[in-house]
Amino acid sequence: MARKRNTSPDITNANPVAGTYEGDYSLIELQPDFYTTDGWLISVNGVPSSHIVLGEPRALVFEYMRWIATGTRAFTDEFLDTDKLRITHLGGGACTMARYFADIYPQSRNTVVELDGELARLAREWFDIPRAPRVKIRVDDARVVAEAFTPASRDIIIRDAFAGAVTPENLTTVEFFEHCHRGLAPGGLYVSNCGDHSDLRGAKSELAGMMEVFDHVAVIADPPMLKGRRYGNIILFGSDRELFDAHSPQTAAITRELLSGGVPAHYKDEEWVRRFASGAHPRRDEMVTE
């Protein structure tokens, strides 16, 4: 396949070709997005996984990715050194979020952990993903990598890993959160994309586990999801640094940005989260079924 030269010295990509590809663990389908110029949808085993707009790393079509971006940027810009930012993405897909943060924070170092080596290879070949060290792709199991984290070696951890439409259970336990907590520098941020059903038991269980490990928690989701009306995404945040409360000016800015999206969402602070997850039982490793 002929390679397409990009003017950026640290990016090389070939022309994407629509079709179905055999991955190491899954079927990968690449489809053009006819509603977005140069947009491409990547599905894994029939489930939409990533979306890329060539030449537009800040274009996030999936709403939940916008919510991750909004909450993470607000925290980063307020508390972290953006010239020395270390971000680990547990679950990478086509590296949409790593590509986004590498563009927003050009000095950041993004490490993507992706289980499917063929998906990682194709993403590198097809899309304008910055080269290492701006975006490094590591083919490995997210839980194994988390267990080996060097203490205080990263500033942000973003978990967005799915097997089909479900997050592997071993990435939702108290022990997993403890590994992530150890890997974060003091005052760092843990972010996860929790896909859940209308009973919201998964999100509440994860939050209960996070509250055993992190001093402070918050969430972002759209109102129908928070009211238990459908399956969807809830973005969970955890940190030992105090997160924005309902009355902070940062919360007002976050709210304005969330409400301006195609699917308006709400930021909920720690007080709300503790009521929401009250009575939930955290999942532990011994409860995980193989």
Q: Which residues are catalytic?
A: 160
Tell me the C-alpha distance between 47 and 83, whole Å.
Answer: 36
Tell me the C-alpha distance between 277 and 170, whole Å.
Answer: 20
Specify the length of the chain in residues: 290
Tell me the C-alpha distance between 21 and 289, whole Å.
Answer: 30
Instruction: Please give the helix or strand (H or E) that residue 111 lies within, else none.
Output: strand 109-114
Q: Beta strands 86-90 and 109-114: pairing type?
A: parallel
Phi, psi angles (nearest 5°) of residue 221: -165, 170
Task: Please report, in angstroms and rounded to a whole number, the separation of the first and last CA atoms in the chain.
Answer: 40
Q: Beta strands 47-53 and 13-14: pairing type?
A: unpaired
Q: Rg of the Cα trace of the chain?
A: 18
Tokens of 246: 């309902």
HEC profile of 84-139: HCEEEEECCCCCHHHHHHHHHCCCCEEEEEECCHHHHHHHHHHCCCCCCCCEEEEE
| C-beta separation of 177 from 211 below 8 A | no
Three-state DSSP state, 189? strand
